[in-house]
Structure 1
C-alpha cells in the first residue's frame, strides 16, 4: 500500500524523493509503478492537482482516501491544464479495480469544455473487465461528455460494475443552439451536454446515487443486460436536462435490455426542466421509428416537480414491462423549433405516454396512446407566475439597528492600545509566512531544474498504478 501524505516523504519516484512540509496542494505529474492489489490511499483533506489521468494497470488495485471518510475530508483530485480524464481503469488487466471515497472536480467551470480537438472523454473511465467499483465519491463538473463511463469492453466482456452511493453533478451545460449549432454533438465549442453515468456493462448496479444538474441525463443505459438502476435520486436544480434516465440506444448489445431493471428511483424537476423523466425506445431521442429495443423493465419510480416535461415515454419496444410508476409532477413544455411535424406532431407533455402501435409488452393502465418522435425537443415555459408564490404575505424586514460610535473613555483607550499591539503582532506573523513562501518558491525552482532532463512522458502522463 502507498500512502500519499503532505507530510511524509514521497518516495514514488526512485530518482527524486521529496518532502512537502507546507504545501496544501501538489501536482500529480509523476509515474507510480505497481502491480496487482496495489492500494494508494490519499490523506484526508489532501488536494491533488492532476495534469493527466491516474491509470489503473492491474487487478484489484484501489485509489481511496485513508479511513474512507464520507464527508468533505475526502481527498480531492482537481483537473488542471489540459487534463480531462482524471481516473482511467479500462485495461484488459483491470479486474476489480476500485475508486473509493474521493472527490474529483473536472474543472469545466474554470477550464472550459473539452473541444473537438481535445477528443475529450469522461471524467472517470472504467469497464472492459469485471467487478469494478466507484463508491462514495463526489464527481462534478466533467469537461467531457460524462462523469462516469463504464464501457462494454472490446468483446462485450464487461460485467459486474458497481456505481453506488455517489454524489454526481453538476455535469455539462445547457444546449444553446445560437452558440452550439443545431447538433450538440457537432458543436465547435465542444459538446455542451453531460451525462452522470453512462452504463454499458452487463449485470451491473447503479444505485443509491444522487444526481444533480446533469444536463444530458443522469443515467444513460446502453442495453447492459442484467443490470439494475435503482434507488437513485435525480434532481434538476438550476439547469435543464434532456432526460432523467434513458433506455434509448440499440448498441452495443443489439437492442437487448434483457433483465435490465430501472426501479425505485426519484426524478425531481425541482428548478429546471427535465424534458423526459424516463425515456424508453429510440423514438424518444430521435426520428428513428424502425429500431426496436427489447426485454427491459421499468417499475416503481416516482416523478415529481414543477418543471417536468414528459414523464415516462415508450415507443419502439417489445416485451417491455412498465408498471407501478407514479407521477405527482406538473407536466408541461413548449414546442421547440426542432420538434418534428412529419409524419405527425408529438402528443403534448403528460405523465405516461406511449405509442401503442410500436410498443409491445405490459404497460400500466394510465398510459395514453399518442405520437412519439424526438420528444426531447420541448423547451421550458417562460411563465413562472405561479411558482415559488408564497402562501402568506412576506413580512417587511425589520430595520437594521443604527450603530453609534462610542465615546472615547480611558477604558476604550486601553482597548485600542491592546488592539494596536495585536495588529502589529499579526503583521509580523504575516511577514514570517511570506518568508516561508519565498523559500518554497526557491525550492520549486531548484526542483524544476533538477528534473528538467526527465522525459515529457514521465512528467505529463499522470500517475500510473
Structure 2
C-alpha cells in the first residue's frame, strides 16, 4: 500500500541522510580474502528510495512533532498494516544529552509487515542500505525470494531473518536464479560488524542452473568485520566452491564469528570418472572440480558449533587456520555423495601455516552410506605432495572426536596426519567405523604406497613435535591420501 506523497517525503527526509553516509555500492577488484578463494567483490543493486514507497502504508503517520517522549528521546513511527515488523531502525541511536540539539535525540522506527515472495534481492539490499546500522528485515514464513544478485548487508548490526524465527520448513527461502550468480547473501562488506543471518533457507540451485566456474560461495561472510552471526540456516546446492565462506579479510582482520546450529548441504558432486575419485553409484555424470565445501572458515577466534553438514564433497568443514577458533559439536554425514575430507586442517594460507589455538573437539563424522576418504585431515601432505619443510602447517588440537559408519559406509582413514608440526591429537574414537577403498592411478603407489586402510595414520618424518594418541600407524612416509578411490570395505571396527 502506498503512502501519500507528503508522508513518503517525510520518511525520505529521515532516511536520506543515512544514505549519504552509507558505503558507496561499487565493485572492488581487490578481493577481501587474500588466501581463501579470491574474487571480485560484487556490487549490490540499490533501488531509488521512491521505489520503496509501496512498503509504507497509506495510513502511515510520522509523529515528528509529537510531545510523546521515550526515555527523553522523541520517537517517530510509521505503522504499517500489521503488527509484524519488516524493518526496525534506530536512525540516530542514543546520544549524550544536548539541550540545543533535539535532532540528535530523535529515533525513527519504521515498522511494516514481513516481505513476501514478491520481494527481490534489490528490495532487501535497499532496505539495508537506506536503513543503515541496526536495521532488521523480516521475511514472511514460507516466502520464496528469487534473487538475481546477492542480498547485501552494508552496515553494522543488521539482521535478516524469517518473522517469528521458525526453525523448520516454514523458514523463508532465498533462491539463486541468475545464470551468472552463485552468491545469495553477501555479508563480507567492510565494516558490516555484528550482522546476523538467521532462520532462513538458502537454495543455491545448482541442480537447476549448474556449476558456475569461479563462482563465489553461496553465503559470503567475514572479510573486514567482527562479530558476525550465522545461525539456524539451511543452505544447500551451491553453484560455487562452498556453501558458507567466512573469509579472513584484508590482513586477516576478521574475528569472532559465530556459525551455529545450521544445516549445510548437499554441496557439490564427486566426479563420475576421474583419477582423483569416482562416484560410487551411477546416478548422474559429473566431471572433475564439481566438488564443494560445506563450511569454509578462515575468520579467527570464531565458534563453529552444533552444525550438521550432509553430503559435502570437498571438505565438509575446512579450517583455513582460523587462529583461536573452536570447532565443536558438529556432525558431518556422507549419505549420497562421496566426501574427500570431513574436517580439514591442510591449508597453509592465510596464516602462514599456523593453526595456533584452534581446537577441533567433540565432533562426529559419519560415513553413513558412502565413502569418506579422510575423516580429519591434518597437514598439507594429506591433501597433496609438497614435502618442503617451509610449507608445513603447524599447531592446533584435535580431541575427543568420534568416527562411525553405517552398514555400507566407510572411511579411507579416520585421521591422517602428514606435513604438520606440533599438533595434539588425543581422545578420538573410531571403534564403530569401517575402512576400505583402493589406491587410484593418481596415487604414488610404486614410490610411496599409502598405509593400509585403518583408523589413525601418521607420517612421523613430517609431524615433529606432535603429541599423538595410541593407535597411530607410523611405518610409512606417505602423502596425497585423498588419491584413494572407492573399493570394498576391508576393516569393520577399530580397537581405538
TM-score clears 0.5: yes
TM-score (norm 2): 0.70
Q: Does structure 1 residue 226 correspond to structure 2 residue 330?
A: no
Check whether the contact 2:436–2:488 (CA below 8 A) recurs between aligned residues.
no
Q: Does structure 1 residue 354 correspond to structure 2 residue 458?
A: yes
Q: Does structure 1 residue 337 correspond to structure 2 residue 429?
A: no
Give how far 1:180 is off: 10
Q: Structure 1 residues 299, 283: closer, same or farther in 2, change over 3 A?
A: same
The structure 2 residue matched to 1:85, chosen from 179, 183, 191, is 183
Q: Deviations over 1:107-146 (max 9, x none)?
A: 001110113xxx3110000112100111001000000000
User: In 1, distance between residues paired with 2:421 and 2:275?
Assistant: 38
| SS of equivalent residue, structure 1 residue 351 | strand
The structure 2 residue matched to 1:263, chosen from 361, 367, 392, is 361
TM-score (norm 1): 0.75
User: In 2, distance between residues paired with 1:380 and 1:211?
Assistant: 21
The structure 2 residue matched to 1:101, chosen from 193, 196, 199, is 199
Q: Deviations over 1:400-440 (max 9, x none)?
A: xxxxxxxxxxxxxxxxxxxxxxxxxxxxxxxxxxxxxxxxx
Superposed CA RMSD: 2.5
The structure 2 residue matched to 1:296, chosen from 396, 411, 415, is 396
Q: Does structure 1 residue 123 correspond to structure 2 residue 218?
A: yes
Give how far 1:15 is off: 3.0
Larger Rg belongs to: 1
User: In 1, distance between residues paired with 2:320 and 2:489?
Assistant: 36
> What's the counterpart of residue 7 of structure 1?
none
| SS of equivalent residue, structure 2 residue 487 | coil
Give how far 1:43 is off: 1.1
| SS of equivalent residue, structure 2 residue 477 | coil
Check whether the contact 1:114–1:191 (CA below 8 A) recurs between aligned residues.
no
Q: Does structure 1 residue 174 correspond to structure 2 residue 280?
A: no
The structure 2 residue matched to 1:367, chosen from 472, 484, 487, is 472
Q: For structure 1, which segment, 365-374 or 161-170, has the greater mean C-alpha deviation from structure 2 after superposition?
A: 365-374
The structure 2 residue matched to 1:379, chosen from 485, 488, 495, is 485
Q: Structure 1 residues 257, 179: closer, same or farther in 2, change over 3 A?
A: closer
User: In 1, distance between residues paired with 2:192 and 2:426?
Assistant: 38
Give how far 1:26 is off: 2.9
Q: Does structure 1 residue 156 correspond to structure 2 residue 252?
A: yes
Q: For structure 1, which segment, 354-363 or 206-215, has the greater mean C-alpha deviation from structure 2 after superposition?
A: 354-363
Q: Does structure 1 residue 26 correspond to structure 2 residue 118?
A: yes
User: In 2, distance between residues paired with 1:193 and 1:51?
Assistant: 23
Check whether the contact 1:307–1:380 (CA below 8 A) recurs between aligned residues.
no
> What's the counterpart of residue 424 of structure 2?
321
> What's the counterpart of residue 37 of structure 2?
none
Give how far 1:93 is off: 1.5
Q: Deviations over 1:198-227 (max 9, x none)?
A: 010110011100110001111010111100
User: In 2, distance between residues paired with 1:324 and 1:236?
Assistant: 23
| SS of equivalent residue, structure 1 residue 109 | helix
Q: Does structure 1 residue 38 correspond to structure 2 residue 115?
A: no
Q: Structure 1 residues 74, 310: closer, same or farther in 2, change over 3 A?
A: same
The structure 2 residue matched to 1:238, chosen from 318, 329, 336, is 336
Q: Deviations over 1:30-57 (max 9, x none)?
A: 3513311111111111111111100111
> What's the counterpart of residue 50 of structure 2?
15
Give how far 1:294 is off: 1.4
Higher RCO structure, 1 or 2 (CA under 8 Å, sep 6+) = 1
Check whether the contact 1:113–1:189 (CA below 8 A) recurs between aligned residues.
no
| SS of equivalent residue, structure 1 residue 155 | helix
Check whether the contact 1:265–1:300 (CA below 8 A) recurs between aligned residues.
yes
Give how far 1:191 is off: 3.4
> What's the counterpart of residue 457 of structure 1?
none
